[in-house]
Amino acid sequence: MDDHADVFEDVRRGMIPAHIYNDQEIFELEKERLFSRAWMFVAHESEIPQPGDYVVRRVLDDSFIVARDEQGSVHAHFNMCLHRGMQVCRAEMGNASHFRCPYHGWSYRNDGRIVGLPFHQDAYGGEAGFRRKGQRLLPAPRLDSYNGLVFVSMDPEAPALRDYLGDFTFYLDYYTRQSPSGIELRGPQRWRVKANWKIGAENFAGDMYHTPQTHTSVVEIGLFREPKAEKRKDGCTYWAGRGGGTTYKLPPGSLEERLRYVGYPDEMIERMKRSWSAEQLRVVGQDGFMISAASAFPNLSLVHNWPRVADSEAVLPFISLRQWQPVGRDETEVLSWFAVDAEAPEEFKKLSYKAYLMCFGSTGMFEQDDVENWVSLTNTAAGSMARRLRLNSRMGILADDTEVVPALTPEQFAGPGTARTGYGEYNQRAMLNEWADHLAAPARSATATHVGGPVPEPSRDPNTVVNGA
Amino acid sequence: MPVLKADFGACQGYANCVAGAPDAYDIDDDGTVVLLKERIGAEDLPRLQEAARSCPVSALTIEDA
């Protein structure tokens, strides 16, 4: 496998080799160097509120049990029995104090520790043959959370999640901390699309240019009043830390008036005022920008829109989280959650859920529009002609890399990172530059866990760490 | 009042009982069942009977004291 240095060089110039959206070698490299390192979203704490609650989530090919133990701590354990490697938990979600392997009956507490090992004495000669004490399901190398969003990383050396996300947390708060209680989720809906995972992540990160074209019919029927072309260029895109997104420009008014304009009731606005920083409030109330779609590198996206939910001018905002889970070079599993402020009035939650389902999720109208494009794009990227094409992803910059429209000043936009109005593909470039940085850096070899048995000589296997020795 | 009994020699450490009734049964570090209580209330009987009957080697019984 070549090192694809020319691909990364093209990407950094904003010229995208079209085949990266359907290429087996690139996908193998993504698995080896990107998904082996980056922090990846697996669940929200509100999905597992009670001791024993669990969800089973994948990180590419690896299945993890994300469970809350009897003491209330959240764990993510590799869903593989230490004995013969059978999947320990085969349900997708539930509540259990223990997980028992269906193959030979080994069982584990919901904090991962082994509890049942049938015929330990007869079969292994007890501890002398198999060190049972201290054995536990293999934990995810790293687990951390932000506003209840639980992430794992396959890299034990990964930076702290907060440092990884960087200033993107400023924007993440708009979606996930509208009150001190944070969000609660419904879902996920889970389905597969025959499209490369990067396309959706890039689209949510910054593609405000597609809205007037792809989603024309949604505007025509009056579901969403915003995506008109001139409206989109008035909003700004921002990139901060390891994420970025799009915004809409709000009509003139106070903070309260602007939040009411997108459909928030006054009691929710009061809680936002207490939950957000002065700068976070200024972006909405003074600068006049309202967050819409966003992506955190590599494959978590968010969306906040405010469609009309009935035959009136009234709009209602909804929040959705989604993960673009790669299945292969040309297939992605989408997990899509509805999110809502836990303290929102019940009637608001109900209508907001309806607004979400009309727009996104497996039946959502925006969803259908988008995926038609992305499947087609992925198909077209598979052949030999795509290898001859470098797509121009330089929107917003001139040939000498100067900007078509200057970045917003701190006086115009109080948020961190860089924000720009006008059409641009700054965020897609930021996303793919991050992608190139990951893929260009060789991966470290992972350490092996030798379950309760003899260990190879250090000279043969310098990376070995022995579990329970 | 019903009383939990265990045949500690028969126990093979499957831990089915622990999954069924973690408030009554546990497995120690040597892989043998531990009774966390002996006498149980009548209201717990159906649940604990099910946990005891889930033992693959029939090491657990519940007797009337």
ipTM score assigned to the predicted complex? 0.72
Contact yes or no for B27 and A115 at CB 8 A: yes
| Cα torsion through A125, A128, A130, A135, rounded to 10 | 130
pLDDT of amino acid A445: 85
From B27's Cα to the closest Cα of chain A, the distance in A is 6
Question: Which is nearest to A21 in space by CA: A192, A190, A202, A191?
Answer: A202
Angle at A268 between CA A318 and CA A186, to 5 degrees: 40
3-state secondary structure A283-335: HHHCCCEEEEEEEECCCEEEEEECCECCCCCCECCEEEEEEEEEEECCEEEEE
Contact yes or no for B18 and A126 at CB 8 A: no
Contact yes or no for A105 and B14 at CB 8 A: yes
Question: Where on the phi/psi map is residue A160: left (φ > 0), alpha (ψ -120 to 50), or beta?
Answer: beta
Minimal Cβ distance to B31: which of A97, A98, A132: A132
At B10, which CATH number? 3.30.70.20
Q: Give chain B positions within 8 Å (CB) of A126.
A: 30-31
B27 is in which domain, residue-wise? Answer: 2-64
Contact yes or no for A117 and B29 at CB 8 A: no
With contact defined as beta carbons under 8 Å apart, do A67 and A87 qualify?
A: no
CA atoms within 13 A on the CB side of A370: 25
CATH class of A40-144: mainly beta
Q: Give the best residue of A107, A113, A133 to mutate against chain B (max B CB count within 10 A).
A: A107
Task: Tell me the whole-structure pTM to 2 decimals.
Answer: 0.91
Provide the 3-class DSSP secondary structure of residue A410: coil
Q: Give chain B positions within 8 Å (CB) of A96.
A: 19
pLDDT of amino acid A113: 95
Residues of chain A with pLDDT under 50: 462, 465-469
Q: What gap in Å lies between CA A112 and CA A82, rounded to an integer? A: 11
CATH class of A186-250+269-338+360-440: alpha beta
With contact defined as beta carbons under 8 Å apart, do A174 and A291 qualify?
A: yes
Average pLDDT over residues B35-64: 92
Q: Give the best residue of B8, B30, B34, B57 to mutate against chain A (max A CB count within 10 A).
A: B30
**CB within 8 Å of chain A, chain B residues 5-64:** 12-16, 18-19, 22, 26-27, 29-31, 56
The per-residue pLDDT for range A184-234, each reduced to its tens digit, is: 999 999 999 999 999 999 999 998 888 888 888 887 887 777 656 567 778
The pair phi, psi for residue A31, each rounded to 5°, is: -65, -45
Q: What gap in Å lies between CA A9 and CA A12, rounded to an integer? A: 5
Query: Would you kindly state where each structural domain of chain A is located, as residue ranges?
Result: 40-144, 186-250+269-338+360-440
pLDDT of amino acid A468: 40
pLDDT of amino acid A228: 64
Contact yes or no for B27 and A116 at CB 8 A: yes
Minimal Cβ distance to A116: which of B15, B29, B30: B15
Beta strands in B1-65 (DSSP E): 2-6, 25-27, 33-35, 60-64
In chain B, the number of structural domains is 1
Average pLDDT, chain B: 92
pLDDT of amino acid A429: 97
